[in-house]
Amino acid sequence: MKKQQNKPFAFRGKYFFLSVCILYGVLFLFNRESAQPALLKSVHILVRILPIFVVVILFTALLNYFLQPRQIAGYLGRDSSYAGWLWALAGGIISHGPMYAWYPLLEDLRSQGMRDELLVVFFASRTIKIPLLPMMVDCFGLKFTIVLSCYILIGSLVQGYIYGLLNRSKLL
């Protein structure tokens, strides 16, 4: 388990952000018709997921406030039982918005002892979107939605299990 350290504040992914800015700059020079709507779309996405960012910040703070690192490690760490798997599965299903919006919270949980296989379960189970289930039923039918959801749930757990096996066997 990695211990949480008080690192000095530093921006992460600066060069990645700079590369994206340069990409936009080049696109604005040579293909303005694509660059402008792309930028507008990005702003639209940012505005739409801002509330999710707020929820993630609040959720991270609440977790850190009410739970000690050793408690989190107890629920999701090496010694966690089947409950840890169910927490990860439920977390993945409930979590709303794009995957990258949850990276800060998951990184925080990981630094406090969350197992990597449970992270895999969380990511895999995100395919089930409860608010979008009616839409899926409308597009593909009830039978398809039920069968797919069941396989996603089983598949998420199996993926986590395989990752854990590979990790323990030192193949990773």
| Cα dist from 27 to 36, 40, 46, 122, whole Å | 9, 14, 20, 36
Quick one: which of 1, 55, 86, 148 contacts other proteins (CB under 8 A)?
148
Task: Tell me the window of 73-81, 82-90, 152-160 that interacts with other proteins (CB under 8 A).
Answer: 152-160
For other proteins, the binding residues in 90-109 under the rule CB under 8 A are 98-101, 103-104, 106-108
- Residue 127 interacts with other proteins (CB under 8 A)? yes
Residue 51 CB, nearest distance to other proteins (Å)? 14
Helix (H, G, I), strand (E, B) or coil at 126: coil
Residue 44 CB, nearest distance to other proteins (Å)? 8
Residue 81 CB, nearest distance to other proteins (Å)? 23
Helix (H, G, I), strand (E, B) or coil at 14: helix
Buried b (16+ CB within 10 A) or exposed e, 44-62: eeeeebeeeeebbeeebee
Tokens (6 digits) for 132: 């979008």
Quick one: which of 83, 90, 130, 132 contacts other proteins (CB under 8 A)?
132
Quick one: which of 26, 135, 142, 165 contacts other proteins (CB under 8 A)?
135
CB under 8 Å to 79, separation ≥6 — which residues?
Answer: 73
